[in-house]
A and B are shown apart, each in its own frame.
Chain A
Amino acid sequence: MTTEIALSAAPAARPARSRLAGLAVLFIVVCALPFLVSSYTTFQLTLVIVYSIVLLGLNILTGYNGQISLGHGAFYAIGAYVAAILMDKYGVPYWATIPVSGALCLVVGFLFGLPALRLEGLYLALATFALGVSMPQLIKYKGIDTWTGGVQGITILKPDPPFGLPLNQDQWLFYFCLAVAAVMFWLGWNLLRGRVGRALIAIRDQPIAAEAMGVNNAMYKSLAFGVSAMFTGVAGALGAIAVQFVAPDSFSIFLSISFLVGVVIGGIASISGAIWGALFIQFVPNIADQISKAAPWAIYGVFLIGFMYVMPVGVAGAIRIFWARMKRKAGSSPQRSG
């Protein structure tokens, strides 16, 4: 397993210029989307952007640092509630809630990461699973329900576009989320392609060797938790603004499980995988529902298993393998390893 992940973490060997051009084209297409599709589809795509930020964050922890989390829905909930409470109770403008959500989740995630340091594999799975299950119950707790709205949740208003921009609310929110996502992906990219990323991978693959080389494992592992939670919290805030409502039922354990599913389906330790995974968790349940009202989950389960059969290392992994094959056929560049 380690070797496969190591392979998928290897930087792609495509030339930088064509890659940048590709990115630019992609960016233009994405920016044009809200004018090409309906408001409803724009809203769905906004959710895809939001989920992709979560998956990137979870990937930092699970993919790059090898720590499993079955409870990231909890951080998503914290981010969402912080945004909702600030907007609803304190009249804070929506855009100002994003950094607050991120910062708070960074702290909470880091603190949660400290005891989690001693837990590995199954034990960490239990601890995070417990976090995910407990979060809705904590939100309902009577001591804090004057802020959280208890079981009723909080309804918030959708922001209007600023400066009299000729956009509708959905289009504006799409661009707003896209801008935040761009910042988060840029952050994630720099983090993962640099020294920190190498340290995280080293800890995942060779913890003892990493320690010997002077990497502070404990520090990095907690930090990975914190940063991962921060990404998720930012996304949670965006999600709350997009959906205009938060309630304990919005953050059930199934949300956390979808996130994990998204990371794996998208591609472990892959930045682009976050987008594939987000598309999957946004659209595949809808497709399953279209196929069968009687047992939509059964169809969804078949999709999950089917994806893992066809692409055991995720969509991003499969694409990478496909490119490598094409290139080998073309015989253009020699095989590079790792």
Chain B
Amino acid sequence: MSAKQLVVSAGVSIGLALAAPYALAQKKYDAGASDTEIKIGNTMPYSGPASAYGTIGKAAAAYIKKINEEGGVNGRKINFISVDDGYSPPKTVEMARKLVEQDQVLLLWGPLGTPSNTAIQKYMNAKKVPQLHVYTGATKWNDPKNFPWTMGWQPSYQAEARIYAAHLLKTKPDAKVAILYQNDDYGKDYLKGFKDGLGAKAATMIIKEVSYETSDPTVDSQIVQLQGSGADVFFNITTPKFAAQAIRKAYDIGWKPVQYLNSVSASIGSVLKPAGVEKAVGIFSVEYLKDPQDPAFANDKGMNEWREFMKKYYPEGNITDVFNVSGYASIQTLIQVLKQCGDNLTRENVMKQAANLKNFEVNVLLDGIKINTSPTDFAPIEQEQMAKFDGKEWVRFGETFGK
């Protein structure tokens, strides 16, 4: 933007000053932002083995459509450019560069996958382009000192695993624990958090840990191994399909341990119902999102709004799929950040505002869960609550963990 244009636009904003309080601040833009438009980039696995997550990007895009129809953010329409990376890190690198260098987006929002985000983290920070609300629960995204341009969104896997560990130590300190985990960054993150949480007792309490690969047709063999170990507690670190298989198999072979299920797979619709709700009675998990299939939220205001939204803007989406709730919630967090930016749409200010969320609430997150960030806290959602499945719904209990 030339100096002359700046003067002109400044003049315009002064002219509007009486009408809009924001406009008192001088308008400032980086690439990707203007008086009429904000460009947001995003990568998602729309193809390939992880395509199940692609619906998050579609839900977010649908929400942006809604926002634009309602007039945009501070009068600016959002141009959401979401591209496919096939869950392949080299492709993510290429696509991130396309979005930043060719499409000139203001920021990159919600790239999915730990390896994909690791691949672009250095690049984004070198370019000083925000890599906001990345879709992975690894702990490393909360590192403002070394990576001031990268921020996560969901609670970290490790923090969640520590909640289970604490619960276990309190309720069953002499437990013999068997663990099934996916052999990748996500599985190992949970495993680490759980061991950290158990502390010195980890070595004695965990008597068996087995892994599976996403290419395995079933985890039946692993469940048989875990049962054979004689464990009385089962920590199930699996993605939805394998979680459902594991819960069903454990029940079918007559293994009845206390079960902890990672929140990744705590969906009633896509895990517990397929596994058979009667087989899932008594499972512990933690929650931060409202489950679309949980009867407790059948008449919930936030969820009703979400259902309305799905019907109107994303009718082909699956209304039992919790990913669609997640995408809807996370994109709202971004919209809040942009709202707070006002007319100062520089990348620096985006990060400043992203790190300045105070008690922000999204009504599809569990009631009482607030999003807080600060310049030293790049973890938006940290609050979670434990819940126990009673065969119909998740019954939340105990305190809310996290700040």
Q: What is A's interface to B at a CB cutoff of 8 Å?
A: 38-41, 43-44, 47, 133, 137, 140, 150-153, 155, 239, 243-245, 247-250, 252, 254-255, 285-286, 288-289, 293-294, 296-297, 300
Question: Interface code B42-66, partner A: CB below 8 Å = 1, 0 otherwise?
Answer: 0000111101001001100100000
B367 at the interface (CB under 8 A from A): no
User: Which residues on A sit within 8 Å (CB–CB) of B122?
Assistant: 155, 244
Question: Most chain-A Cβ atoms within 10 A of its Cβ — which of B57, B102, B121?
Answer: B102
Indicate if the CB atoms of A249 and B89 lie closer than 8 Å: yes
Indicate if the CB atoms of A254 and B46 lie closer than 8 Å: no
User: Which residues on B sit within 8 Å (CB–CB) of A249?
Assistant: 87-89, 113, 115-116, 184
Indicate if the CB atoms of A289 and B118 lie closer than 8 Å: no
Q: Is the interface of A mostly helix, strand, loop or mixed?
A: helix
The CA-CA distance from A155 to B188 in the complex, in Å, is 19
Q: How far is the CB of A261 from chain B (nearest CB, A)?
A: 14
Indicate if the CB atoms of A151 and B213 lie closer than 8 Å: no
Pairs across A and B, CB under 8 Å, 18 listed: A38-B102, A41-B102, A43-B94, A150-B188, A153-B89, A153-B118, A239-B90, A244-B119, A245-B90, A245-B118, A252-B88, A254-B48, A293-B46, A293-B82, A294-B316, A296-B84, A297-B51, A300-B47
B5 at the interface (CB under 8 A from A): no
Indicate if the CB atoms of A244 and B102 lie closer than 8 Å: no
Question: Interface code B242-254, partner A: CB below 8 Å = 1, 0 otherwise?
Answer: 0000000000000
Which parts of B89-103 form the interface with A (CB within 8 Å)? 89-91, 93-94, 97-98, 101-102
User: Which residues on A sit within 8 Å (CB–CB) of B98?
Assistant: 40
The CA-CA distance from A250 to B91 in the complex, in Å, is 9
Indicate if the CB atoms of A289 and B88 lie closer than 8 Å: no
User: Which residues on B sit within 8 Å (CB–CB) of A286?
Assistant: 83
> With A244-B93, A245-B90, A285-B91 given, can you name 9 additional A-B contacts, CB distance below 8 Å?
A39-B97, A152-B185, A155-B118, A243-B119, A249-B115, A250-B88, A255-B88, A285-B86, A294-B316
A155, closest chain B residue (CB): B122
In the A-B complex, the 6 residue pairs with the closest CB atoms: A245-B119, A40-B101, A289-B84, A247-B115, A151-B185, A297-B47
B123 at the interface (CB under 8 A from A): yes
B183 at the interface (CB under 8 A from A): yes
Indicate if the CB atoms of B183 and A151 lie closer than 8 Å: yes
Q: How far is the CB of B110 from chain A (nearest CB, A)?
A: 15
Question: Most chain-B Cβ atoms within 10 A of its Cβ — which of A47, A140, A151?
Answer: A151
User: Which residues on B sit within 8 Å (CB–CB) of A248?
Assistant: 115, 184
User: Which residues on B sit within 8 Å (CB–CB) of A289?
Assistant: 46-47, 83-84
B119, closest chain A residue (CB): A245
The CA-CA distance from A137 to B58 in the complex, in Å, is 31
